[in-house]
Structure 1
Amino acid sequence: MEKTVFQGTIPANIRYDRKAEALYILDQTLLPGEERELRLQTAEEMYDAIRTLKVRGAPAIGVCAGYCMYVLAKSIRGEDRQVFLKKLSDYGVYLNASRPTAVNLNWAIRQMLRTALEHADSPRGQLLDALYEKAVEIHQDDISKCNAISEFGLSLLKDGDGLLTHCNAGPLATSRYGTGLGPILLGTERGMRFRVFSDETRPLLQGARLTSYELQRSGVDVTLICDSMASIVMKNGWVNACLVGCDRVAANGDTANKIGTSGVAILAKHYGIPFYVLGPTSTVDMDCPDGAHIPIEERDGEEIRSLWYEKPMAPSGIKCYNPAFDVTDHELITAIVTEKGICRPPYTKSLAALFR
């Protein structure tokens, strides 16, 4: 294993070492107790890393997919370009099946395949250089988008605000500041003070293991709460706004995010608290009309029964329903913050305007 390279106080989640020609990710399943990098070399290792959440967060998955496709392209031997394109396309289909809800994965794979097709008649070296440059472009583009999202999101907040977030949408799930956590980290960097309540986010505990870790290391006043405690902290008047990321946004503004997000939005609506969704335009799927058309990944029930326990905490053989995401109705969302600006209802118009 290689030692982790740090960006500020938070480890880099994805890095490609051009000198060593090696792709590394920070294994997020080990956080916060251990910071360890993994090298991804084979399609099976890449699929497993995405499927088992070693790398996670829609934008980060897209960035990782770009580099993965480059590494896989290098592994394809032979001069026949049609064979090369077919094998690379097959790798793309395979990787895309690892997390079907996150639209960034498919988006990045398509970007890489389009680049390969555009340079199919070039010498092998030039073709691979073009793919590497596209992967870097996807990465740099996400950094730029996160910066812009953070700026727009910060304009919605004021110094001293109490904020609530669900799941993890910080640097570990994206690049630079993140999306859902971006305004918090950017504001803190500029001397603003926020009080953040981090939902632990059952059953995978991204809020407990990752969001709390990121915010604490960045000097943010963060308090960890169980998901079921969101209502009481809102009722107590401690929350001025909710900030969450997103894995896919439908054309009408319905948004898929980590399971439990829709419950937070319903509570926020009840207590009159703004509910903001933050994400890059690459998560907006204008070909998906509404939330009913977003595929929802269902995961192994062992994540509920036994994953974080020394011994199973449910009866043997008990049935489990374990969807990874839920869909928040657009009517519950105050605004959707993208790198191009802040979208407000009606989302069918404001989201469409982003792509004109």
Structure 2
Amino acid sequence: MTAHLTPIRWCDDDSLELLDQRWLPSRRETLRIDTAEAAAEAITAMVVRGAPAIGITAAYGVVLAARQATGPEWPARLDAAMTRLGASRPTAINLFWALERMRAVITAHRHADAPPVERLLETARDIQRQDLADCLAMGAYGAELLAREAPKAVMTHCNTGALATGGHGTALGVIRTAWDRGLITHVHANETRPWLQGARLTAWELAEERIPVTLAVDSAASLLLAQGKIGWLIVGADRVTANGDVANKIGTFALAVQARHFGVKVMVVAPTSTFDASLASGDDIPIETRESRELTHQGERVVAPDGIDIYNPVFDVTPAGLIDVIVSEKGVIESPDRNSLAAWLDASDPGGFA
């Protein structure tokens, strides 16, 4: 596990410290957060990213709001803070799952004279601790799948490692565990435009742990998959709908289509906090789009014509039919569809899921 990577840390002075991922890998800088508004801005600005990490950060943002809320109007102030945090990145369901955990604490204490700061802080810490435990469990389940066949290389997209979670990672957590057990031979990381999370973050995490990695331009994926040396495409998720469709970083859908063509299996790794039974299919997932400058500029250099139309979605939706297996902290769902997902989730968690 990447013990030296602590992207989210609650400090003794009751502030939140975030590793500013916008600067990696060139330098490590931390950002001190002391208001819920600053936490929301950090999520939107990609200081912290990755669905589980977004949820953890939002939970601590509620704690910051509670520390500053006084008087009989404190519940309304916390409600406003959670609304602002919920608007920071709308596709990641973990964000709303974490906020609902915090809202339950607030509701239980709504008639108190002051907000339950310590109880909220313990809940946020529990969300962070549980995410790490979930990542380790997913790593073990995913590695067991890879152990069914001879070791081969794997491909991954975006960043799903310790930087995106409470530690270890989801898809990258499977890769870490599998490498430790001698179940994979190499990792191919796609650069993941336009924010280059694969280049800046995934390649960096793997290099830090001396796991052999090759970084490739996104559009080279089909060439690599065609060589027959890659056994699995392993990716994370920002939302899984009731029929098994998966929202993940833009480019995942295309990769899954290519993987199916070349006979490469697709593994989605996501905690049950990423599952959203309220949405029937991927058609219902809100897809975040970002500003045009991310495509028209490289730093201060202009790389596109002035005034051109820009389409910059952050996520796409991979249909369940292109996914071989979904791995969660509670086990494995093979050939996911509406029926298999419902049956598996009922068996593993009779209380339902997010």
Q: Which residue does 2:230 correspond to in 1?
A: 239
| Matched position secondary structure for 1:88 | helix
Q: Which residue does 1:4 correspond to in 2?
A: none
How far off its partner does 1:344 sit? 1.9
Identity between Structure 1 and Structure 2 (%): 42
Q: Does 1:276 align with 2:270?
A: no
For residues 102-117 of structure 1, the aligned pairs below 5 Å read 102-117=92-107
Provide the rounded CA distance (Å) in 1 between the counterparts of 2:322 and 2:131: 27
For residues 28-67 of structure 1, the aligned pairs below 5 Å read 28-67=21-60
| Matched position secondary structure for 1:38 | strand
Report the CA distance shift for 1:8/1:183 in structure 2 as closer, same or farther (over 3 A).
closer
| Matched position secondary structure for 1:156 | helix
How far off its partner does 1:177 sit? 1.2
Is residue 321–residue 336 contact of structure 2 (8 Å, CA) maintained in 1? Answer: no
Is residue 160–residue 195 contact of structure 1 (8 Å, CA) maintained in 2? Answer: no
Q: Which residue does 1:86 correspond to in 2?
A: 76
Q: Which residue does 1:223 correspond to in 2?
A: 214
Residue by residue over 1:108-158, the C-alpha shift from the partner in whole angstroms, topping out at 9 and shown as x without a partner, is: 111101111112345647x21111111111111101111111111111214
Residue by residue over 1:185-235, the C-alpha shift from the partner in whole angstroms, topping out at 9 and shown as x without a partner, is: 123334555311100001111101000011110111000001100000011
How far off its partner does 1:257 sit? 0.3
Provide the rounded CA distance (Å) in 2 between the counterparts of 1:199 and 1:9: 24
Provide the rounded CA distance (Å) in 2 between the counterparts of 1:258 and 1:214: 18
Q: Does 1:76 align with 2:69?
A: yes
Q: Does 1:139 align with 2:133?
A: no
For residues 84-233 of structure 1, the aligned pairs below 5 Å read 84-122=74-112, 124=114, 127-158=116-147, 160-190=151-181, 193-233=184-224
Provide the rounded CA distance (Å) in 1 between the counterparts of 2:126 and 2:5: 21
Task: Single out whichever of 160-169 and 253-262 deviates more from structure 2.
Answer: 160-169
How far off its partner does 1:160 sit? 3.4
Task: Single out whichever of 191-200 and 219-228 deviates more from structure 2.
Answer: 191-200
Report the CA distance shift for 1:234/1:245 in structure 2 as closer, same or farther (over 3 A).
same
Q: Does 1:291 align with 2:246?
A: no
Q: Which amino acid aligns with 1:132?
A: L
Gaps of 5+ in 2: none
Report the CA distance shift for 1:283/1:8 in structure 2 as closer, same or farther (over 3 A).
closer
Aligned length: 344
| Matched position secondary structure for 1:197 | strand
Is residue 190–residue 217 contact of structure 2 (8 Å, CA) maintained in 1? Answer: yes
Report the CA distance shift for 1:55/1:331 in structure 2 as closer, same or farther (over 3 A).
same
How far off its partner does 1:66 sit? 1.0
Q: Does 1:13 align with 2:7?
A: yes
Is residue 18–residue 31 contact of structure 2 (8 Å, CA) maintained in 1? Answer: yes
Q: 2:249 aligns with which of 258, 262, 266?
A: 258
How far off its partner does 1:8 sit? 4.2
Provide the rounded CA distance (Å) in 2 between the counterparts of 1:246 and 1:94: 23
Gaps of 5+ in 1: 1-6
Task: Single out whichever of 34-43 and 265-274 deviates more from structure 2.
Answer: 34-43
Is residue 154–residue 184 contact of structure 2 (8 Å, CA) maintained in 1? Answer: no
TM-score, normalisation: structure 2? 0.93
Provide the rounded CA distance (Å) in 1 between the counterparts of 2:111 and 2:37: 29
Q: Which amino acid aligns with 1:147?
A: L
Is residue 321–residue 337 contact of structure 2 (8 Å, CA) maintained in 1? Answer: no
Provide the rounded CA distance (Å) in 2 between the counterparts of 1:176 and 1:157: 21
Q: Which amino acid aligns with 1:157?
A: L
Q: Which amino acid aligns with 1:325?
A: F
How far off its partner does 1:316 sit? 1.8
Task: Single out whichever of 282-291 and 116-125 deviates more from structure 2.
Answer: 116-125
Task: Single out whichever of 155-164 and 231-240 deviates more from structure 2.
Answer: 155-164
| Matched position secondary structure for 2:155 | strand
Provide the rounded CA distance (Å) in 2 between the counterparts of 1:10 and 1:343: 32
Provide the rounded CA distance (Å) in 2 between the counterparts of 1:185 and 1:243: 12
